[in-house]
A and B are shown apart, each in its own frame.
Chain A
Amino acid sequence: MSQASLARLDDTHKKFGQIAALDGFSLSVNRGELLALLGPNGAGKSTAISILLGLQNPDSGKAELFGEQPHSIYARRRIGVMMQEINLSPVMHGREFIAQTASYYARPYETDEVIKRLGIEKIADRPYGKLSGGQKRQVQFGMAIVGRPELLFLDEPTVGLDLQAREALWQVLRDLIHEGCSIVLTTHHLEEAEALANRVAVMMHGKLVKSGTVDEIRAHVSRKSILCRTSVPMDTMRNWPEVLEVSEDSGRIQIVTRDAESALRLLLAADARVHDIEVLRAGLAEAFAEITAANSNGSTE
């Protein structure tokens, strides 16, 4: 086992009835990285995480957490978990949940320290049932990090948070990574992955289809957007080679194309008065869309 790999899935298969949730999926999480695990609904993300957390066993293949079986308590004492759709007891307080969780770990942070770090002093002593959705997520996040985990599993951590709270949580995540913690993030929020992730893994149909840094993933996508103000009719532009899409938003035209250079040449030739030109590389969102589109086409054949 490589020393850097904290969690590893190796050629894992898992079937639920006829449906293969994991179909030879491999993944390893290295120390000090934030890995964003992306994929459309039903791609197998939650199954992969469940297996890494020891909640399910793979039908075949290998799963390891800190070199142990994932359900080993020794392994679990080194991870923190934040899941979706957890309803904690409404009568207990955030501070009590965090303190209880801390008692399960070998060298946890002080409860007060975590509360302060997350800036949730005001809500820590209120009944959980009286908190807003975002505040509940903050308490759950506190429970996830209080054990001083070496590896943190976060499932949609910022759903329901306002902008300010989300920024604060992102900052804590960046600090944790800086301190050497590794994070596995599953999110539908590509913006979040783009802002935080060192590495992105895209899953589809139970397989890993792309893996790399955010830049690598983005670079993989050839499409770019040209924004401009022009008098060239939109239908004309749509017939140019490699142009995928032309749209207008308050007078500004957006041309999505696989060959930005050709499109620019044609544009400049056709309209001498074109102005306000901007060329945008694809974001993670576009890249993700392209990757998933390509792979779902491939798989239907």
Chain B
Amino acid sequence: MNRETSEIVSPRVPAASNRDISEMSQSRVLAAYLGDIRFELVKMLRVPAFMIPTLLFPVMFFLLFGVLLGSARGNGQQAVMAFAGLGVFGAIAPGLFGFGVSLAFEREQGMLIFRQAIPMPSGSYLLARMAMAMLFVGVVSLLMLLLAVFLAHIPLTLSQCVTWWLINVFGVLPFCAIGLFVGSMVSGQAAPAIINLIYIPMAFLSGLWVPLQVLGSVVPALQKLATIWPSYHLLQLSLNALDQGSMGETSTHVYALAGFTLVFFTLAVRRLGGSGIRLFGSPGAAPGFPLRRAVTIGFFWLAVAFIVTGVLNGNAPRAATNTAATSKDATETGKDASAATGTNDSGAPVGVAAPDRAVVADFDNGSANTSYGIGFAAHKDGDHCSTASQLDQEIVADGADHSHGALQIKGNVVGDVQYPFCGTAFLPNGSAGTDFDKQPLMDFSRKQTLSFFARGDGQNYTVVLLTPRQGPPAMFQFTPGTDWQEVRVPLNEFAADDMKRVRLIAFGTSKPGTFDFEIDNVRIE
């Protein structure tokens, strides 16, 4: 602000030159903010007793549970779960401890009051602390990422790595706010104990260490109540980024986390304000500005609503793709839909066009081979159908329409993985000896219907059409009875982008427990 504007803006200031004396250029103010960040960084680096354990705990745990134990059991799923869970674990500590404990100490030591008396730029202390917490989480997450890729060999795309890292780095903010709140309440001596009282149960109860399904199988209420923890919501975002099964909608979690941040931050500011500490330079002198107050109160209750929504809806199953497909894509018919929306486009190239012939497999020659691709095989990969589950497929006589053979799939699903699914699958454009995620794709966008005959024990079963796209695949549920019955899956109701890139088509079940069903006459036309 130069002399002229200062006269115009504040005509009541007695001498216009009054403020000019203490006017600082924007670059100098910016330098002050950056200087405070640098100051906090140096301070942190000089206290290795705080830095090293906080840095190493999650990394060490991941090394133990993800890399060593995970690979020893040959269970890639466990490594990924540990990676997601401990990543969140690593994002909590810098927020809670970095803010809570040090704030409590500095409050007691009079530093917060002193900072207000000197012309420290508005909010600079908070900003510097926040930057530190984010930097800290950035480093922890980077270390874990390196271990995950090079030691645990978790298959991650670059965009998954970046998304996961960013989720953690920004995910520290709600914990900063909670730390701030705790630090505004308790003494420096008590703060570490109180924060551990929050930290450890929260990590455990939100499923960072032990999957919630396991927790829920012991005490079901714990699984239900997990949504009250911010770490739960962060974990779901993280799982979703890693293409693992997650609950609830992304937006629900993001809003809930924003809600936690805002609510605790507001409470902390209020609490500190009560003892004369202003985190922002703005005057607390004029409480009579009603609009600002109303806006603050409005935001506060909005944030509370976000949290409540998150708590209530945070563990809802994600909308299945077929319902999404029918609601979205059914209304947008035709080829222009993909160009118009482009939402589901994974960026992967389109698969090879499907052959003209309709028959895929009739199982009449005693084998599970298909007329193209790699034939039906029991889909027991450990990731979805865990080693504890049982799964068998065999060709049986007495097929549909009195044909010679049919494919029977039966077994017992043990739900000890995040997303159980056991069944049989074929790779329409499969090539032997290729890693699964490099298997070539097939373009079914010109086909209308997948049809087959099924009979079984009356339970629900699912057809899954897997593509390279992240997130829940295209799915279709069917319920075979004791007699053969035709099932028709309308392919044109799924997202067109998905149908252009089908890697695998599977028939099976997610429901824990025994199952038994047969399929015959699989056709795609």
Contact = CB atoms under 8 A, between A and B. Distances in A.
A9 B42 CA distance: 40
Given A55-B117, A81-B118, A87-B109, A103 B281 contact: no
Contact of B284 (A57, A66, A96, A101): A57
Contacts of A68: 13, 18-19
B23 A106 contact: yes
Contact of B281 (A71, A100, A106, A143): A71
B111 A86 contact: yes
B61 to A, nearest CB: 28
A147 interface: yes
Contacts of A188: none
Interface string B286-316: 0000000000000000000000000000000
A99 to B, nearest CB: 8
B436 interface: no
A251 B482 CA distance: 124
B121 interface: yes
Most buried by B among A67, A147, A153: A67
B43 A91 contact: yes
Nearest to A83: B114
Most buried by A among B13, B22, B32, B46: B22
Interface residues of A, number: 41
Contact of B35 (A55, A81, A103, A143): A103
Interface in B142-163: none
Interface in A55-112: 55-57, 66-69, 71-81, 83, 85-89, 91-92, 96, 99-101, 103-106
B114 A103 contact: no
A89 B18 CA distance: 34
A89 B106 CA distance: 9
B118 A76 contact: yes
B302 to A, nearest CB: 29
Given A55-B116, A71-B281, A78 B31 contact: no
A67 B18 contact: yes
B276 A77 contact: no
Given A76-B119, A104-B120, A92 B43 contact: yes
A73 B42 contact: no
Nearest to A104: B119
B13 A105 contact: no
Interface residues of B, number: 37
Interface string B1-25: 0000000000001110011011110
Contacts of B39: 92, 96, 100
A267 to B, nearest CB: 53
Given A57-B284, A92-B42, A92-B43, A67 B117 contact: no
Contacts of A73: 22, 119, 121-122, 281
A54 interface: yes
A77 B18 contact: no
B283 interface: yes
A293 interface: no
Interface string B105-142: 00001110110111111100000000000000000000
A1 interface: yes
A85 B24 CA distance: 30
Contacts of B72: none
Contacts of B23: 74, 106
B28 interface: yes
Contacts of A83: 110, 113-114, 117
B285 interface: yes
Contact of A105 (B36, B110, B119, B281): B119
A83 B47 CA distance: 26
A71 B47 CA distance: 33
A203 interface: no
B272 to A, nearest CB: 13
Contact of A56 (B32, B47, B109, B276): B276
A291 interface: no
A256 interface: no
A79 B47 CA distance: 32
Contact of B117 (A54, A69, A106): A54
Interface string A134-153: 00000000010001000001
A77 B285 contact: no
Given A67-B14, A74-B19, A103-B32, A81 B117 contact: yes
A100 B14 CA distance: 31
B46 A91 contact: yes
A101 B32 CA distance: 9
A140 to B, nearest CB: 9
A69 B118 contact: no
B18 A74 contact: yes
Given A55-B116, A73-B122, A96 B111 contact: no
A69 B120 CA distance: 16
A53 interface: yes
A247 B467 CA distance: 103
Contacts of B18: 66-68, 74
15 contacts: A54-B116, A69-B283, A71-B278, A71-B284, A73-B121, A74-B18, A79-B117, A80-B118, A83-B114, A92-B43, A92-B46, A100-B35, A103-B31, A104-B120, A106-B28
Given A73-B122, A76-B119, A104-B121, 10 more contacts: A54-B117, A55-B117, A67-B14, A67-B18, A91-B47, A104-B32, A105-B22, A106-B22, A147-B119, A153-B117
Interface of B: 13-15, 18-19, 21-24, 28, 31-32, 35-36, 39, 42-43, 46-47, 109-111, 113-114, 116-122, 276, 278, 281, 283-285
Q: Nearest 6 pairs between A and B by C-beta?
A: A77-B22, A87-B109, A91-B46, A76-B119, A77-B119, A81-B117
